[in-house]
Amino acid sequence: MKKTRMRIKHSLSLLAAMLVLLGAGVHVQAVTYTAINTGDFSNAATFSPVGTPGAGDTVVVSNGVTLTVSDARTITALTVGRSGGSGSGLTISSSGSLTVSGQYGFAGTSPVINNNGTYNCSGGASFSTGAFNNNGTATFSGNAQAFNGTIAVTQGANATLNLTAANSTPFGGSCTLLASASGNTVSYTTGQNMKGATYYNLSVSGTGPSAGSGTTVNGTLAIALNSGQQVNSVGNITFGNGANIIRTRGNLRACLKNQFGIMFKRVCGA
């Protein structure tokens, strides 16, 4: 009887340990979860196999399905859509956050990521089509390009896009960037080259970046470069009426253009 009780106690201890691991989201083996039903990330029935993906797992959003993230989630890789299909999407709510430690990508026709909360990705883009609509805070780190191919990136009002990857060209291929909405900020660091686009607020830091052709700033250009560094190709930058320059460190030396295309000389820093 005593041995039986000990076996039962041991079995219960093992079961309790397994439940703790499962509750913590620890997976013995990486799993690829496919979102087959439109629904929330926290709902196990949204996925096949049934369950909730965690760190180390891959998530694929099936064609015609929209996956919603309304709390904090971490996964390794993400693909929105599948080849030959259309209408796939992932939405991060204003109260949600998604961290992708590997790559994210799009497949099929018209896949989209709508970020209204927090999106962090260290693996960069692995596919070349789709739309990324940022209405919250999005941060891309690591070594890969944040966007490539024909991905269309749109910044909403007051949104923040942090480009902190080591790659010098965060926008590859023929990606487009629409960043003119009021109050939004695009921040380039570590010497990343700025994409030629119309910005509301534009921030550069680290080593000297180059401005892409057709760069326009309508709000504020913030410069916080390393000592002795400067913004290159400044002649590509046009300032809108009422635009500001804030310099913490680094130089801005060149002929600039105002909104009428008139050249003027501006020297900031030494």
| 18 found inside a domain | no
Please indicate, yes or no, if residue 155 is contained in any of the structural domains. Answer: yes
CA distance 187 to 244: 16
pLDDT digits (tens, 9 = 90+) for 14-52: 555 555 455 544 446 899 999 999 999 999 999 999 999
- Please check whether residue 68 lies inside any domain of the structure: yes
Percent over 70 (pLDDT), the chain: 83
Domain count, the chain: 1
Going 48 to 49 to 52 to 57, the CA torsion angle's sign is: negative
- Residue 142 is assigned to a structural domain of this protein: yes
Residue 264 has pLDDT above 50, yes or no: no
Range of the domain at 160: 31-268
Predicted local distance difference test score (pLDDT) of residue 262 = 44
Q: Is 83 a domain residue?
A: yes
9 pLDDT more than 90: no
Q: Average pLDDT, whole number, for the chain? A: 87
Please say whether the beta carbons of 168 and 194 come within 8 A. no
Identify the pLDDT of residue 1: 54
In this structure, is residue 213 part of a structural domain?
A: yes
Question: Lowest mean pLDDT: which of 96-110, 112-126, 197-211, 245-259?
Answer: 245-259
- The three-class DSSP label of residue 234 is helix
Q: Give me the mean pLDDT over the 242-268 stretch.
A: 65
Residues 232-251, mean pLDDT to the nearest whole number: 91
Supply the pLDDT for residue 3.
Answer: 52
Q: 174 in a domain, yes or no? A: yes
In whole angstroms, what is the distance from residue 115 CA to residue 127 CA? 18
pTM across the whole model: 0.84
Q: Give the model's pLDDT for residue 29.
A: 86
The top-scoring range by mean pLDDT among 15-29, 105-119, 235-249 is 105-119
> What is the reported pLDDT for 10?
53
Instruction: Report yes or no: 99 and 123 within 8 Å, Cβ to Cβ.
Output: no
Letter for the amino acid at 37? N
CB crowding 188-209: b at 16 or more within 10 Å, else e: bbbbbbbbbbbbbbbbbbbbeb
pLDDT value at 142 more than 50: yes
Residue 14 main-chain phi, psi, to 5 deg: -65, -40
Maximum pairwise Cα distance, the chain: 95
Mean pLDDT of 213-224: 96
**Binning pLDDT at 50, 70 and 90, where does residue 269 land?**
very low
Helix (H, G, I), strand (E, B) or coil at 44: helix
The phi, psi pair for 212, rounded to 5°, reads -75, 155
Mean pLDDT value of segment 76-98 = 96
Alpha carbons 270 and 253: distance in angstroms, whole number:
9
Q: What is the mean pLDDT of residues 163-182?
A: 94
% of the chain surpassing 90 pLDDT: 72
pLDDT of 7 reads 55
Rounded (10°) CA dihedral 4, 7, 11, 13:
110
113 with 138: CB under 8 angstroms? no
Position 231, amino acid? V
Whether residue 242 lies inside any domain: the answer is yes
Give the pLDDT score at 5: 53
